[in-house]
Structure 1
Amino acid sequence: MIVAFGSTAPACADTLQEALASSFRTNSALIGQRRVVSSSEAAVAIASAAGRPQIVTTIGAERRLTRSGLFALNDSGNALSGGIDLALPLFNGHRVHNSVEAEQSRLRADLATLKAVEGDVFTEVATAYMDVLRDHAIVKLYENQVRVLGENLRATQATFDSGDLTRTDIAQSQARLSLAAAQLSRATAQLTRTAENYWRVIGLPPRDLEFPPPLAELPASADSAVKEALSNNPDLIASAYKARAAEFDVKVARASRLPKLEGSMTGDYVRRLGSSGSLAGLEPNRSGLQSSVGLDLRIPFYQGGRPSSQIRRAQALQGETLEQRVELERAVIANTRSQFAAYEAGARAVLSSKVAVAANKLALEGARIERRLGTRTVLDELNAEQELLNSQVELISARRDVYVAGFQLLNTMGRANAGDLKLELTVRGAVLRDAVSDRNDWSEQLALKQSETPTAAKASPGFGRFDVSQMVTKELQPKTESEPALVSMFAKVRPAKQQSERAASRIEQNGTWQIQLGAFRVRGSAQSLYKQLSMHLPTKLPVYSSVGAFTRLRVGPYQSKSQALTACRMVVTRGHPCIVISG
């Protein structure tokens, strides 16, 4: 439940989901990576075009300006000509096939990189969002502290005037008030910085921010988190596809040593115009037509050492990608363990800070009562107020740290994308196309529109209705073994096993068709494959079923066998096996 300052709730409140959606549409890094994906799609089509027939038509017109002697007797000065040439690649050492495979692997790598950039952007958004909440709550605490210390100073001055206190008590109150005012100034400046960073990242100024909902369920141990990260981290997936592309690049380089066979067909037509002279009383033909068919076989014997150098270069680049993958894997493991430790430490810090806040509240109440009774001094009461303030600030910071650490851990495990966060967005589907089937020389992909991001200051950010109690007193629910399916970022999600069973029962009742993508010893591998293909299988549900020690992955339902076959062909073109199964 969200509580706000004032007697009424905010009319328009910003949520983390809205901030994520805004950044998804306007973030330049995301838009740039989508254009990289579009470029890779075009590269696949370019590589595929090298294996297709090439047809060229030529049309010419000729007029001779000068003729003399023998040339003036047997030829006219004007002519029209036309021709058509067909070239058909028959064998090129598998160069085209390997080039297409390499470009498709790079496309898959760029798609995985798009997911990685998406997760990084969302993590930056969540961090900026929580920074604003933290700093605004801290500003409110310091404002309240300045107000309380001001009242204490006035009360101390009145007591001093009556002769019950000394100038030392007044000096101590004045010092604490001045210190609190300085802390408020620094906190206000920090809030300005975080608000500007929020505007930079999200594209909108912060206004009435709601406290975000709980994070999705996190692994119970660091080893489990590492295992999931190694299976689903998009950077690792992209690295694997880059290594695969480098492997095909080596095969492309080796193809330069192999023969090439090309078929050709030509046809030419010539028509002479105007009056025609005669030679020995003969009237020459005014037009002619010829055609030919041929095979061209090229066998390289010596190319100056170029193929060997190209192969060595491709092998060196392949080795570089493999080493980069090893380094990235180590970084993912290290980041996962450190983020898991930070999350656990933050959760413990929240619990400890809550105890400290409760204890300091009790201590402050006791110090105030005892000062009135004469057993405590003004300094004791000021110290108690400062201790309470420090513990409240620590609790607010701990809540921010544990949420950000948890979001970072989800991102490293590959669970911080638009689909995982239940964002209803379709930008990627509108951008991507099936580049392999693009055979039209005249088709052009529509250019993406420039994102409209506010650049000029509109209204100053309004923070007045945010409640500090959200950051100070919000309960952190401990996890228990009996806890039901936990809440994801923005919606309750049924467990994957239960969802698959329900989907399977619906498919069986309908008697429709499915496609089977394989059986995997590790369930995470089946889930990872579905994530890769999900954007190409819209509105279709995965069905995971246990078959002995394996997890079988099927997708459906399809209303007809032809629809299932079409989906299967799409899967096969992306390098994965697929069979059609009757429901």
Structure 2
Amino acid sequence: MTGRLIFLFGIAVSLPLSAGAASPQPSAEGPPTTLTQALAEAYANNATLQEQRASLRATDEGVPTAMSGWRPTVTLSGSFGHSSSTVKQNTQQLVGVFPTPIYQKGKSRLVETGNPETAQITLSQPIYSGGRVIDETRQAKNLVYAARAQLLATEQAVFLNVVNAYVTVITDTQVLALDRNNQTVLERQLQATRDQFNVGEITLTSVAQAQASLAQAVEQVAVAQGNLQIARENFRQLVGDYPGNLTPPQPLALPVSSKDAAAQAALANNPNVVAAKFAEAASRDAVDVAFSALLPVISLQASGFTQSDPTGAGTSTRGGSVLGQVTVPLYQGGAEYSAIRAARAKEQQSFATVIDQQRTVFAQATQSWEALVASRAAIVSTNAEIKANAIALDGTEREEIVGTRTTLDVLNAQQLLLNSQVQQVQNIATLVNNSYTIASAIGRLTVTDLGLPVNQYDDLQYYRAVKYAGFGTGETADSDAGIAPNGTLMHVNQSQVAP
């Protein structure tokens, strides 16, 4: 027996193997890639993040939409045309009176033409709308704050998925290497068994047992290869490119040192909780908006007009008016009261959502912490199990030589060693994943917290550009916010966005 150390996720684990066994080697293709690089590429290329950024910009537009209620509306209307009218009339003229009146009959024809032109400009200035504009503006701002928090939540979810995909690729690569190593060992075991059978030392039963174990190993290799390909495709979906020779990551250093601290941090900082609280505030504003429909509306309207040739050539009329208008709703069919009741129900729904999110992140933080502690303990115990299984395999092989153990005993011992090695790979993967899951639960898995080498998306830049905008279709605002016409970040290599 010879012993050696292999590094699973950067953690040294003793794996004594049979002499001559092949060393597990990663089979991933492509240039080396670190977790930081994978997260940075996902930050720039992930379609889910791009979708959420665009959704935030659309939500930002709710603020200028609401504030437009303070501004006047100005309309200009006009008309131009040609008019023509013809009047035909039968006539009779008295031309004599003796001995009887004599009339001369005839026909007359009157043609009137004109080119009437009209122009009118109207300005309407809201003065008071029952508080609706104030309430709608406050609601729109709270929705923006909620959308910003939701963008952070999406960012964290994408990063956590990338970490899981990254770790899964490494896990499946190392499991495949272990399975291939096991296949090589069993192939040599089968050959040795056949040699023993040929000289009459063992029976055909032992050969069949070795063949069955090798067939199972071949199956495990095929399954491991399939799992690795699935993991690579999932990685590409999230990051935008296939993984290279991935560098094993370490568990993330956490800013909390206990389960209770993690739970309290999650309640205070988790972006899903923050988003739910702002959404609840927006729902309260929606109740005020609904109540404003019961209050009077005051506006000022000014207009001016000009008409030329309205009745005939050479005539014109000009005029204007300034009116104050007060509208007091008395009864509107009950729709406004229904809207109030609906808004109150949605406020209650939003309150329940806050409680649900708080309970969810509390459970996520505490459960992930317990899983982190358990995975650390599992690594220690499984490492001891690997050492014990390696010693047991060595002893079983020696006992087989002297005839006190069978070929089946050796094969079983080899399988136990493989199982413990695979379990250790999975334990370390669980440790890494749980550390990042806790960071996500406490709101510390953002691009800023991770210190990624990227140009960060400024979720305030677009808002500042459009908050008071009274004109513009968005091209300048997008450019100021670093957004390309297709919605991606301008510094992104566009060839990496689409497959």
TM-score of the superposed pair, with normalisation by structure 1:
0.70
| Shift, 1:453, TM fit | 5.9
C-alpha separation in 2, matches of 1:206 and 1:19:
8
Does the aligned pair in 2 maintain the 1:204–1:454 contact within 8 Å? no
Count of aligned pairs? 446
Shift of 1:157: 2.5
| Structure 1 unaligned regions, length at least 5 | 277-284, 457-583
Distance 1:439 1:77, change over 3 A: same
Matches within 5 A, 1:104-123: 104-123=141-160
Structure showing greater Rg: 2
Q: Give 3-state SS (helix, strand or coil) of 2:377's partner.
A: helix
| 1:383–1:6 distance in 2 versus 1, CA, 3 Å | closer
Q: What does 1:561-580 correspond to in 2, within 5 Å?
A: none
Correspondent of 1:30 among 39, 49, 60: 49
2:39 to 14, 20, 25: 20
Residue equivalent to 1:217: 254
Q: Do residues 188 (structure 1) and 225 (structure 2) align?
A: yes
Q: Cα RMSD (Å) of the superposition?
A: 3.1
1:202 is matched with 239
User: Partners of 2:311 and 2:302 in 1: how far apart?
Assistant: 31
Measured in 1, the distance between the counterparts of 2:472 and 2:124 equals: 17
Residue of structure 1 aligned with 2:66, choices 38, 47, 50: 47
Return the letter of the residue paired with 1:301: L
Aligned residue for 2:412? 383
TM-score normalised according to structure 2 size: 0.81
1:247 to 281, 284, 298: 284
Find out whether 1:58 has 2:77 as its counterpart.
yes
Q: Deviation per CA, 1:519-564, whole angstroms, max 9, x where unpaired? A: xxxxxxxxxxxxxxxxxxxxxxxxxxxxxxxxxxxxxxxxxxxxxx
Determine the structure 2 residue equivalent to 1:461. none
Deviation of 1:448 after TM superposition, in Å, equals 2.8
**Residue 376 of structure 1, CA deviation:** 4.5
Q: Report which stretch shifted further, 237-246 or 373-382.
A: 373-382
- CA drift of 1:298 comes to 1.4
Cα deviation, residue 354, structure 1: 1.5
Residues 427 and 68 of structure 1, relative CA distance in 2, 3 Å threshold = farther
Question: Do structure 1's residue 330 and structure 2's residue 368 form an aligned pair?
Answer: no
Whether 2:118 is the aligned partner of 1:81: answer yes
User: CA shift at 1:442, angstroms?
Assistant: 5.1
Spell out, residue by residue over 1:385-439, the C-alpha distance to the aligned partner (whole angstroms, 9 max, x if none): 2221111001001111121122222112111222222223346328833232212
How far apart are the structure 2 equivalents of 1:143 and 1:442?
Answer: 60
2:74 and 2:48 map into 1 onto residues whose CA distance is 41
TM alignment of 1:40-439, pairs within 5 A: 40-66=59-85, 68=87, 77-217=114-254, 219-272=256-309, 276=313, 286-372=315-401, 376-426=405-455, 428-429=457-458, 432-434=462-464, 435-439=466-470
Moved more, 75-84 or 188-197: 75-84
Query: For 1:138 and 1:390, how far apart are their aligned partners in 2?
Result: 10
Give 1:74 shift.
Answer: 13
For 1:142, what is the secondary structure of its paired residue?
A: helix
Contact 1:37 1:432 in 2 (8 A): no
Q: Percent identity?
A: 29
1:442-463, CA deviations, whole angstroms, 9 ceiling, x for partnerless residues?
A: 554554347756776xxxxxxx
In the TM superposition, residue 53 of structure 1 has moved relative to its aligned partner by 1.5
Cα 1:82–1:394 shift into 2, 3 Å: same
- Amino acid of the structure 1 residue aligned with 2:356: E
* Structure 2 CA distance for partners of 1:454 and 1:5, relative to 1, 3 Å: farther
Contact kept, 8 Å, 1:45 with 1:438, in 2: the verdict is: yes
Alpha carbons of structure 1 residues 171 and 55: separation in structure 2 relative to 1, 3 Å: same
User: What is the one-letter code of the residue matched to 1:233?
Assistant: N
Report the CA distance between 1:329 and its aligned residue: 1.6
Counterpart in the other structure of 2:486:
448
C-alpha distance 55-454 of structure 1, shift in aligned 2 (>3 A): closer
Q: Which moved more, 1:186-195 or 1:111-120?
A: 186-195
Output the CA distance in 2 between the equivalents of 1:443 and 1:75: 52
Judged with a 3 Å threshold, the aligned counterparts in structure 2 of structure 1 residues 261 and 273 are, in CA distance, closer, same or farther, namely closer
How many Å apart are 1:79 and its aligned residue? 3.0
More off after superposition, 109-118 vs 22-31:
22-31
| Cα deviation code 1:260-293 (max 9, x no counterpart) | 11122222233339984xxxxxxxx744432332
Does the 8 A contact of 1:371 with 1:378 survive in 2?
A: yes
Deviation, structure 1 residue 174: 2.4
For 1:48-71, what per-residue CA distance to the aligned partner results, in whole angstroms no more than 9, with x for missing partners? 1121122222333242222549xx
Q: Tell me: CA distance 1:362–1:426, structure 2 relative to 1, closer, same or farther (3 Å).
A: same
Task: Map Cα deviations across residues 179-215 of structure 1 (whole Å, 9 max, x no partner).
Answer: 2222222222222222222222322222311112431
Structure 2 CA distance for aligned equivalents of residues 91 and 6 of structure 1: 74
Please state whether the residue corresponding to 1:304 is helix, strand or coil.
coil
Partners of 1:78 and 1:274 within 8 A in 2: no
The one-letter amino acid of 2:58's match is S
Deviation track 1:15-64 (CA, whole Å, cap 9, x = no partner) reads 22222222223322222212211211122211111211222223332422
For residues 274 and 251 of structure 1, do their structure 2 counterparts lie closer, same or farther at Cα, with a shift above 3 Å needed? closer
- SS at 1:219 equivalent: coil
Q: Distance in 2 between matches of 1:311 and 1:34?
A: 32
Verify the 8 A CA contact 1:229 1:414 in the aligned structure 2. yes
For 1:530, the equivalent position in structure 2 comes to none
Q: Secondary structure at the match of 1:156?
A: helix
Counterpart of 2:176, as a letter, is: V
> Helix, strand or coil for the counterpart of 2:451?
coil
